Structure 1
Amino acid sequence: MKRGMLPLNALRAFEATMRHGQMKLAAEELGVTYGAVSRQVRGLEEVLGVSLFVGPRNRLTPSQAARDLQPALQDALDRIETAVLRVQRRDKRTLDLSCLSTFAMRWLIPRLFNFREVHPCIDVRMTADDAPVDFARDRFDVAVRVGPGPWDGVNVTELFADEVGPVLSPTLLEPSGSVMWENLAALPLLHTRTRPAAWAEWCSATGNPIPSGGQEFEHFYFMLEAATAGLGVAIAPEVLVRDDLAAGRLFAPFGFRPSGQRYVALTPVHPSDEAVAFADWLGLQSKSDASPC
């Protein structure tokens, strides 16, 4: 089919239906009615001469033809969207970042001044989030996440290995090379709902008995603030307490161990120039800021 004859509206309706799995959600994204999406898809089937969906209307199943068409179509629309955004952003150049809230507060924000010095024309607009990212749905340029991977369908910039260990304020225990596990286990334990098994996993990896009790905090940031204030001892990722360790506000008597997870910066398959610049900057910052441990 010649380019001038392509049914672009119908192709958009089909691509949105495949991506969302429902015509209703596709209609909401496109700002049209369910009936309009249904008519566009039926019209596309007539033009192509194939069935794209089978089964009842409330439980549509993509045909093999639909599964063959969808990847190339989504890639093409992603490329068009990226090109349009690049033109739109040529003046304002805003980068939308999705980032783990504690990582943003404890590591990223204190270093953002450097990005502004290097890229003064790019404004970073940040959203705190730790959910799986869908760049087609969420419209972010970059997402910072932590996990074991793999990270499929995106570009990945490796940042840090996630290494964890007990940390506490020197007001609770004298920092020294002779801290015994019994001394640490006798202190109040701090927990977070973000990683409820952190103590059990660390004790299992180090062969120490799992202590009971302690205080739970809803957010990781609150738990780390409590540890800094001397309210107890917490299991923390080294990268999130790096500045506190350097300043002497916290110390890690047993060091840190790999958790099997990694901090990464994710970008779409076809990233904007701003996304490439920010991901590259994050990668350089992570290397220059490597843990001394």
Structure 2
Amino acid sequence: MTRRPLPSLRGLQAFEVFARTGAMTRAAAELSVTHGAVSRQIKALEAQLGARLVEGPKHQLRLTPAGRELASSLSSAFDMVALALPGAEAGQELVVACPGTFAMKWLIPRLPRFLHSRPGVRVRFVEDRAGDFSRGGVHAAITLQRGAAPAGLRATPFLDHAYGVVLSGALFENLHQDRRKVLRLPRLHAETFASGWAMWAADMNLDLPEESAERSFEHNFYLIEAVAAGLGAAITAWAFVQADVLSGRLAAPWGFHPLASRFTYLRPAQADNTLAAEFGRWLQQEGRRDAKPPTTAAAAQPSLTDQNRAM
């Protein structure tokens, strides 16, 4: 049998950990060696391969294109080795890149159902690099996707996307459930969806009056808590507020308008990660059993201008 021309396993491991953690010091800590040892192993690996894998100043090293390509392959390869080890199933970890608000409001409350039948399995969520597997360390990602999957990735749509106006349930009652008054409340929005009000008004064929105030929030979870506190009304996704609307904590006077994009589970097409595949199938099951949003009656709603004329 012909021997495979593989470079040093220590060098490959040192490089993979550096690529995944992004720093020599963190790689050294994970491998329980010195910073210098990691650096020497990576330099030796570069010499064996005849290619530069890292570049830049000493304290700001980054991966070269060749380094990013190798890191992506190594992470998948080491995942496969870990899965093949005896007893590995009991200590598996799945790292999923995911929007923070979706993880907090939709995913984590359902996660016990996935973990219950998989003792010892860990699922960790990170917010960065959604859909970017070039640095390694992330096995899958959840993102809003429309159309075909990006090249080199498997895409599994699992949840429909819809958006609408929400406000505090108590505040809506204080307004005697008058939707015209809702539109005159302070308008809140997340910085990631600043155009939400204009987009929603166009979809609903509504003419927005001048708002009493406008407030912006960096994250959707800040926005949702601000709405629940009665600071105003906001445009947000059904997946983010489903539990709050069903409990009555928030009200959705116009229901939710469907969008073409869907929450989609992405993973590298070449990686054979059994746990990642299982998680994708579980997401599809959860999506099928998910509560459907109250539908909007956009076509039946006159514009606010027409409503005012009728008053």
TM-score, normalised on structure 1? 0.72
**Pairing partner for 1:194 from 192, 195, 214:** 192
Find the residue that maps to 2:170 and give its secondary structure. Answer: coil
What letter corresponds to residue 273 of structure 2 in structure 1? Answer: S
Q: Is 1:243 aligned with 2:240? A: no
What letter corresponds to residue 238 of structure 2 in structure 1? Answer: E
Deviations 1:239-265 (A, max 9, x none): 111111111111211121233322112
In structure 2, distance between residues paired with 1:263 and 1:86:
28
Find the residue that maps to 1:245 and give its secondary structure. Answer: helix
Q: Across the two proteins, how many residue pairs are aligned to each other? A: 260
> Is the Cα–Cα contact under 8 Å of residues 97 and 129 in structure 2 kept in the other structure?
no
Find the residue that maps to 1:4 and give its secondary structure. Answer: coil
> Is the Cα–Cα contact under 8 Å of residues 93 and 124 in structure 2 kept in the other structure?
no
Q: Which moved more, 1:83-92 or 1:159-168?
A: 83-92
User: Cα 1:197–1:122, aligned 2, differ >3 Å: closer, same or farther?
Assistant: farther
- Which residue of structure 2 aligns with residue 56 of structure 1? none
What letter corresponds to residue 160 of structure 1 in structure 2? Answer: L
Equivalent positions of 1:271-290 (< 5 A) are: 271-290=272-291
In structure 2, distance between residues paired with 1:228 and 1:146:
25
User: Cα 1:238–1:268, aligned 2, differ >3 Å: closer, same or farther?
Assistant: same
In structure 2, distance between residues paired with 1:5 and 1:163:
52
Deviations 1:98-128 (A, max 9, x none): 22211111111211221122x2324333233
Give identity over the alignment, percent: 29
Find the residue that maps to 1:172 and give its secondary structure. Answer: helix
Q: CA deviation at 1:3?
A: 4.2
- Which residue of structure 2 aligns with residue 81 of structure 1? 78
> Is the Cα–Cα contact under 8 Å of residues 190 and 234 in structure 1 kept in the other structure?
yes
Find the residue that maps to 1:138 and give its secondary structure. Answer: coil
Q: Which runs of 5+ in 2 are unaligned?
A: 28-36, 53-63, 295-311
What letter corresponds to residue 275 of structure 1 in structure 2? Answer: A
> Is the Cα–Cα contact under 8 Å of residues 141 and 271 in structure 1 kept in the other structure?
no
Q: Which runs of 5+ in 1 are unaligned?
A: 43-51, 54-60
In structure 2, distance between residues paired with 1:223 and 1:76:
39
Q: CA deviation at 1:185?
A: 1.7
User: Cα 1:187–1:259, aligned 2, differ >3 Å: closer, same or farther?
Assistant: same
Equivalent positions of 1:1-20 (< 5 A) are: 3-4=2-3, 6-8=5-7
> Is the Cα–Cα contact under 8 Å of residues 158 and 265 in structure 2 kept in the other structure?
yes
Equivalent positions of 1:152-231 (< 5 A) are: 152-174=151-173, 179-180=178-179, 182-210=180-208, 211-212=210-211, 213-231=213-231
Deviations 1:160-188 (A, max 9, x none): 222111011222224999844x3222111
Find the residue that maps to 1:262 and give its secondary structure. Answer: strand
User: Cα 1:138–1:196, aligned 2, differ >3 Å: closer, same or farther?
Assistant: farther
- Which residue of structure 2 aligns with residue 114 of structure 1? 113
> Is the Cα–Cα contact under 8 Å of residues 145 and 261 in structure 2 kept in the other structure?
yes
Q: CA deviation at 1:129?
A: 0.5
